Chain A
Amino acid sequence: GENVEQHPSTLSVQEGDSAVIKCTYSDSASNYFPWYKQELGKGPQLIIDIRSNVGEKKDQRIAVTLNKTAKHFSLHITETQPEDSAVYFCAASTRNNDMRFGAGTRLTVKP
């Protein structure tokens, strides 16, 4: 089955700096790659996603890139703010319901 690895497990940045989180996947058939943000005591919330026919997608301060050949995808957050502090998860799936998640990255943005 699909295996998703996520790095780093923790990331600390200064407010205004950029943050990058990287994931790799094993199943070349995976075609959908969402990113979730989880705040303390809450369920994960979808923040951006990308499909395998697209190489990059942006939404304001966040962007995701996908390299199908290398089987890796990344989340980029620019101009980080304290409210960006949370745990971020990447995921990969061939079907929307059979989704495998990375172990998560705890991002801390220092004011």
Chain B
Amino acid sequence: NAGVTQTPKFQVLKTGQSMTLQCAQDMNHEYMSWYRQDPGMGLRLIHYSVGAGITDQGEVPNGYNVSRSTTEDFPLRLLSAAPSQTSVYFCASSPGTGGQYFGPGTRLTVT
């Protein structure tokens, strides 16, 4: 199993551009989440999904959209990138009965 995979690893955007961060898992987990990690602030939940077709907002959802059309994939869309969205983004999945499995992360810089 590949576990949780994320693409791209690195991305630089200009203010106002849009893009999609990809996340996929091959463990048949129902739960998937997106977090951002900023220095000194731990991980903050952006959006999460408890199954295909179901998504909900986390702690810091503004500026981001998600969809969950399949169990495997959970893309995160930045609609109009802002410098405040410069961060490291992690996708995670879990079977719902234990801890989360994290992907390797995407480092995003918005200039």
Q: How many residues from B make CB contacts under 8 Å with A?
A: 28
- Residues from 27 to 85 in B contacting A, C-beta threshold 8 Å: 31, 33, 35, 40-45, 48-50, 58-59
Q: Which residue of A lies closest to B97 (CB)?
A: A96
B87 at interface, CB cutoff 8 A: no
Assuming the contacts A96-B96, A98-B48, asked whether A103 and B42 have C-beta atoms less than 8 A apart, the reply is: yes
Query: Which positions in B face A, CB cutoff 8 Å?
Result: 4, 31, 33, 35, 40-45, 48-50, 58-59, 90, 92, 94, 96-105
Indicate whether A45 reaches chain B with its CB closer than 8 angstroms.
yes
**CB of B16 to closest CB in A, whole Å:** 29
- When distances are taken between beta carbons in the complex, the residues of chain A under 8 Å from B44 are 101
B102 touches A45 (CB 8 A): yes
Known: A6-B42, A96-B100. 11 other contacts (CB 8 A): A36-B102, A42-B104, A43-B105, A44-B43, A44-B90, A46-B101, A49-B98, A49-B99, A91-B43, A101-B35, A103-B42
Within the complex, the shortest CB–CB distance from B98 to chain A, in Å, comes to: 7
Interchain CA distance A101-B92 in the complex, whole Å: 14
Interface size on A, residues (CB 8 A): 23
Question: What are the 5 tightest A-B residue pairs by CB atom distance, in nearest-first order?
Answer: A43-B102, A46-B99, A101-B42, A34-B99, A97-B48
Chain A residue at smallest Cβ distance from B96: A96
Assembly CA distance A42 to B88 (angstroms):
11
11 A-B residue pairings within 8 Å (CB atoms): A9-B40, A34-B99, A43-B92, A43-B104, A46-B99, A46-B100, A46-B101, A49-B98, A89-B43, A97-B94, A98-B58
- Known interface pairs A43-B103, A46-B101. Does A98 touch B45 (Cβ–Cβ under 8 Å)? yes
